[in-house]
Structure 1
Amino acid sequence: MKITPTIRAELEQFLQQENLTLSQFGQITGMNRGIISSIVTGNKSMSINQLDRITEAMGLPEGHFYDLFIDNYIIDTPPNMRRIEPFLYRCAELDKLDAIRRVVGAIMDNLLYSPKLFEIAEGLLAQGRLGAALILYEGVAEAEKYQHSERLAICQYRIFKIQIGNDQEKNFQSALQFEPFVKRLDAIDQLDALIDLANVYRSLRKWERTKEVAKDLRTLAEAQYSLEYSQKSEERKPQRPLFFYIAFSKSLIGGVYYEQGKYELALQIAYESCDLDWVKETDEEALRWKSLFQEWGEANICLTKLMAGDTEVLPLYIDLISTNREELLPGLWNIMIVANRYKLNVDGILSQFEREISNIHDQEGRQTNDKQNINDQLVGFLSELADYYLTNGQYEKGISYLLDCMRLSTIINNEHSILRCVRMFERCRQFVSNEVKVEYRNLVEMG
């Protein structure tokens, strides 16, 4: 039978080797002799704060004894959340995620610990310790997977939000895992969850899924709006004004029609989006959002006409995107789509935005809740820009943007864009240097 080593034995051995008395060691740690004696004799359990002091006094790195702490005080004894909670926070602070996994695995057979672990996960999330929080949410979700609780739905929502990143395939799998739990959330949480879900599907160009989620959002938002103004609601409020969710759902549906080439339907919804006379909110934030939706609606009207072939509105569209930094990247992408579709010369426009285009990769580092859409827009723009220059015989510029596009597409695992880059490269392979061919081959192998 394997004997589990103990922190107490390690401490005793250290004291003997260094020829230290309990009093002397107590002075080094800042703890009194009685506490040290109780720890050494095993009459007293140890707190994580005391363990950290002892570890430092022994000249060992932070967290050196954490695995033994789990063995001695969590696995081998009845779990005590007053001891476990500060230990989990300290593990998160030191990024000792494997230790957190061991604790969760050791105690989650008992559903009684779920509420407290969920509470700790929420605390870690608030601190921005996402990796640690994710482990706890996953532990609670696994333990409660046969429960039809709101807490399980919230865990799945938190897991979904934390997991969204640069890898589009992983984002898709995360969305599929979360979607069945959306309707178990409180109605207010559902509003934001549906937006988050729709944004992921939109970034993945899953248009039918985007439309279905947008329809659910509209139905729920309209019901909540009616409830809010038919009686004085004492319920907590959503993150944004209630009308936002109705307007945004319409915008999503219009965007789907636009992407599917159903320009008449897209134009109809764009006109609807500009009509916000029905909005009852009058506070400053609501007015700000109202103004933004009207701006977006006007831009969408112009863009839809442009995509349908009305190139006379191009100067107006350029004016609209020039005054809005957030719309510049998607706006330039749209202009390049139109240029390639209708064989337009947009060299003058590209010169006008030369500085912005040269800094376009700054978008990758932007901290945003919608990063997956930013990456999608950036890949799309680079792809269209490469196509434009290659079609017009400007091979050096075209290849440069193509390789940029392929590099980012590989990072975010955008297979559609990678294939488009491959087709474009093969189309002009005869015009590129051997050095560029090597760089291209390396990117293909990475993908």
Structure 2
Amino acid sequence: MKHTPTIRAELDRYLQQEGLNIAQFGQLAGMNRGLVSAIVTGNKSMSVNQLDLITEAMGLQEGHFYDLFMENYIIDHPPNMRRIEPFLYRCAELDKLDAIRRVVGAIMDNLLYSPKLFEIAEELLKQGRHAAALLLYEGVAEAEKYQHSERLAVCQYRIFTIQIGNDQNRNFHAAAILEAFVERLDETDQLDALKDLTNVYRSLRKWEKVDETARKMREKAEIQYALKYHQKKRECDESAKKLSRPMFVYITYANLLCASVCEAQGDYQQALEYTYAYTDLDWVLETDPDALYWLNLYKDWARCNTYIYKLLSGDTSVLPDYVEYIAESKVDKEMVTKLLNVLFAANRYQLNINDILKRFETIINSFTQQVHPSSDMYTGQVIPEQYARFGYELAYYYLYRGSYGDGFKHLMYAMVKSHIINNETYLINCMGLFVKFRTHAVPEFKEEFLNLIEKVWLDNVEKNGSSDRRG
């Protein structure tokens, strides 16, 4: 039978080695002499706080004894949440994820512990300790996978929001899993879940899914909005406080998303109809500062998108007004989208926009410096996808006009960005554009291009577990 060492034995050995008595060590650790004595003799277990004091007094690194603590007091012992809860928080602080994983695995055979672990996960999420929270959510979700519970659905929603990142293939997989749980969330959480799902599908350009989820969101939001102002007002006001946006925004945002679907399909007239639907917002009853902020935002978006859909439909007469609108706008995350639409029109209708690109040169150059880590799905997913598209469209514009230096520079940026977000479609488009103009590329760029292609290949080999069979 394997003998498991104990923290008590390690402490006893340390006292003998250093020639310290219990009183002296207690003074070093800032602990009562009687408490130290009880721990050394085995008459008393210890808390993680006491363990930290002992570890520090022994001159060891924080968390040094955590594996032993689990063996001595948690694994194969009746779960004691008064001991486990503070231990999980400390493991999260020290980023000891393996320890959290072991504890969760040891206690989650019993569903009675699900509520407490879920509560701890929610607190860790608030603290920004996402990796630790993810392990707890996954543990609770696994334990409750056969339960038709709202808590299981919330866990899946939290897992989705934590896992969404740069890899668009993984994002699609995460979205597909969450979709099955949306209806189990409470009515208000459903709105935010659908909003986040739609933004992920939008970044993936899965337009059928965008249309489907946006319509669901609008239908549910319209029902809740009617209830809020006509029937159970007090109850709905309380639930509305949980939303990340004023309730009317979920209706207007659905119309904006449906317009983007029509834009992707080339139906600019229908896109304009959806835009007009959120241009007139006289029906909105909220008057608080947050609501006024969103009302002004939609007023601006409606003006912008009206220009865009007219421009993309071929009415190039609106281009000067649209450019002035962009110039008047504050520089923010939406700037890339606004300028991207100028490029779309220029490439589609062979417009010369050199003066416009020169006018916004400083802003365009700043795009390569942008990083968008964000918990907001639009900022974190849609905007990075727009940067990749912008690089490609700008490269296309310059290359077809013979400006090869600028063209290849932006093509490389677009390829790197596409690789980061794992967008195979954009990568293929960039490669096709390079092949089209490869005879105009200088040797240095060709080498840089081939090095990037090799990196993409090696990353794909590593990710998919394939072997590099070189003879």
TM-score (norm 2): 0.93
Question: For 1:76 and 1:190, how far apart are their aligned partners in 2?
Answer: 39
What amino acid maps onto 1:307 in structure 2? L
Instruction: Report if the CA contact (8 A) 2:161-2:375 is conserved.
Output: no
The structural deviation recorded for 1:187 is: 0.5
The answer to whether structure 1 residue 236 and structure 2 residue 239 are counterparts is: yes
What amino acid maps onto 1:383 in structure 2? Y
The structural deviation recorded for 1:367 is: 4.4
Question: For 1:88 and 1:61, how far apart are their aligned partners in 2?
Answer: 18
After TM superposition, the structure 1 = structure 2 runs for residues 291-440 of structure 1, keeping only pairs within 5 Å, are 291-322=296-327, 323-326=329-332, 327-365=334-372, 367=374, 369=376, 370-440=379-449
The structural deviation recorded for 1:233 is: 2.9
Instruction: Report if the CA contact (8 A) 2:372-2:384 is conserved.
Output: no
Question: For 1:129 and 1:43, how far apart are their aligned partners in 2?
Answer: 35
Question: For 2:234 and 2:209, how far apart are their aligned partners in 1?
Answer: 32
The structural deviation recorded for 1:95 is: 0.6
The equivalent of 1:259 in structure 2 is 264
**Helix, strand or coil for the counterpart of 1:373?**
helix
| 1:388-418, Cα deviation, whole Å (9 max, x unpaired) | 1111111111111111111111111011111
Instruction: Report if the CA contact (8 A) 1:363-1:374 is conserved.
Output: no
**Helix, strand or coil for the counterpart of 1:147?**
coil
Instruction: Report if the CA contact (8 A) 2:368-2:413 is conserved.
Output: no
What amino acid maps onto 1:160 in structure 2? F
Instruction: Report if the CA contact (8 A) 1:410-1:446 is conserved.
Output: no
Q: Can you give the 5+ residue segments of structure 2 that lack an aligned partner in the other structure?
A: 457-471
Question: For 2:288 and 2:118, how far apart are their aligned partners in 1?
Answer: 35
Question: For 1:320 and 1:229, how far apart are their aligned partners in 2?
Answer: 36
Question: For 1:125 and 1:361, how far apart are their aligned partners in 2?
Answer: 31
Q: Can you give the 5+ residue segments of structure 1 that lack an aligned partner in the other structure?
A: none
What amino acid maps onto 2:149 in structure 1? S
| 1:154-201, Cα deviation, whole Å (9 max, x unpaired) | 101111011111111111111111111111111111111110010000
**Helix, strand or coil for the counterpart of 1:261?**
coil
The structural deviation recorded for 1:365 is: 4.2
Instruction: Report if the CA contact (8 A) 2:76-2:106 is conserved.
Output: no
| 1:78-125, Cα deviation, whole Å (9 max, x unpaired) | 111011111111011011111110110111111010000000001101
Q: How many residues align?
A: 447
The structural deviation recorded for 1:343 is: 0.8
The equivalent of 2:279 in structure 1 is 274
The equivalent of 2:217 in structure 1 is 217
The equivalent of 1:206 in structure 2 is 206
111-120 or 297-306, which moves further after superposition? 297-306
**Helix, strand or coil for the counterpart of 1:282?**
coil
Instruction: Report if the CA contact (8 A) 2:199-2:382 is conserved.
Output: yes
Question: For 1:424 and 1:276, how far apart are their aligned partners in 2?
Answer: 44
What amino acid maps onto 1:403 in structure 2? M
185-194 or 286-295, which moves further after superposition? 286-295
**Helix, strand or coil for the counterpart of 2:278?**
helix
What amino acid maps onto 1:56 in structure 2? E
| 1:326-349, Cα deviation, whole Å (9 max, x unpaired) | 331101111111111111110000
The structural deviation recorded for 1:366 is: 6.1
Question: For 1:333 and 1:200, how far apart are their aligned partners in 2?
Answer: 19
213-222 or 34-43, which moves further after superposition? 34-43
What amino acid maps onto 1:386 in structure 2? A
Over 3 Å counting, the alpha-carbon distance change for 1:321 and 1:130 in structure 2 is same
The equivalent of 1:226 in structure 2 is 226
The equivalent of 2:462 in structure 1 is none
What amino acid maps onto 2:100 in structure 1? I
Identity %: 59
**Helix, strand or coil for the counterpart of 2:77?**
coil
Instruction: Report if the CA contact (8 A) 2:372-2:380 is conserved.
Output: no
Question: For 2:272 and 2:47, how far apart are their aligned partners in 1?
Answer: 65
The answer to whether structure 1 residue 153 and structure 2 residue 160 are counterparts is: no
Instruction: Report if the CA contact (8 A) 2:415-2:426 is conserved.
Output: yes
Question: For 2:287 and 2:60, how far apart are their aligned partners in 1?
Answer: 61
| 1:124-174, Cα deviation, whole Å (9 max, x unpaired) | 011010100010001000100111111111101111011111111111111
Over 3 Å counting, the alpha-carbon distance change for 1:263 and 1:223 in structure 2 is same
Question: For 2:234 and 2:323, how far apart are their aligned partners in 1?
Answer: 43
Question: For 1:362 and 1:44, how far apart are their aligned partners in 2?
Answer: 57
After TM superposition, the structure 1 = structure 2 runs for residues 52-67 of structure 1, keeping only pairs within 5 Å, are 52-67=52-67
Question: For 1:288 and 1:64, how far apart are their aligned partners in 2?
Answer: 50
Q: Which 4+ stretches in 1 moved above 4 angstroms?
A: 365-368
313-322 or 364-373, which moves further after superposition? 364-373
The equivalent of 1:109 in structure 2 is 109
CA-atom RMSD in angstroms: 1.2
TM-score (norm 1): 0.98
Q: 248, 253, 271: which one pairs with 1:248?
A: 253
Question: For 2:372 and 2:245, how far apart are their aligned partners in 1?
Answer: 25
Instruction: Report if the CA contact (8 A) 1:364-1:374 is conserved.
Output: no
**Helix, strand or coil for the counterpart of 2:239?**
coil
Question: For 2:319 and 2:373, how far apart are their aligned partners in 1?
Answer: 28
What amino acid maps onto 1:333 in structure 2? L
Over 3 Å counting, the alpha-carbon distance change for 1:354 and 1:368 in structure 2 is farther
